[in-house]
Amino acid sequence: MRRPLRTTVFAVVLAGALRIPATAAPPQISPGGPEPRMFQEFTRLVQEYVKLRKALPRERITKRQDEIVDRRHTLAQAIHEARAGAKQGDIFTPDISEQFLKIIRSTLQGSANARKTIRQGEPVASLRLSVNGAYPEHLPLTTVPPTLLLRLPQLPERIAYRIVGHDFVLQDTEARLVIDFIPGAFP
């Protein structure tokens, strides 16, 4: 009789122990103040870009490297033409940029690991970014620290945050195009 009781008690204790980490985790803190409104606006502007991009003609999928590169250039040219008047600050508006900068600075403050992650890429000297400009082929795709990504709005597929030198970049990964950027975001 003692063995089934022990087994039952062990199972109950184990079940309780397995639940503790899930319930003991700190709740995800949502940004306070004006950040949610600014992030909603940012998300809306990114979705407008995605909508514009989806309206462009699609080419067939291929595995040949030369056709992939040609397709990327064709897509970048179509986006460039569709956003002919695009300029820095269209998506990263001054208010949105201010909120991003607050989060970037608070995340990096005292975080040696985040700074180390950013510095792993090759240093970029005097590169001038431009909206609708090509993301240079030779440029490493600098990793944005996970601690920072967790605090920023999630991006749709084929859109990514990048760090180029001191600038924070929103990149179209398929077209390898700079959608917008915040100059001087990183010290």
In angstroms, how far apart are the furthest CA atoms of the chain?
81
- Helix and strand numbers (H, E) in the chain are 6, 3
| Each residue's pLDDT tens digit, 82-109 | 999 999 999 999 999 999 999 999 888 8
| Each residue's pLDDT tens digit, 170-181 | 999 888 899 999
* Token couple for 152: 């920023």
pLDDT, averaged across the chain = 75
Cα dihedral across residues 39, 129, 116, 94: positive or negative: negative
**pLDDT for the residue numbered 157:** 92
Full-prediction pTM beyond 0.85?
no
Residue 29 has pLDDT above 50, yes or no: no
Give the contacts of 95 (CB within 8 A, at least 6 positions apart).
34, 38, 41
Residue 118 has pLDDT above 50, yes or no: yes
CA distance 37 to 41: 6
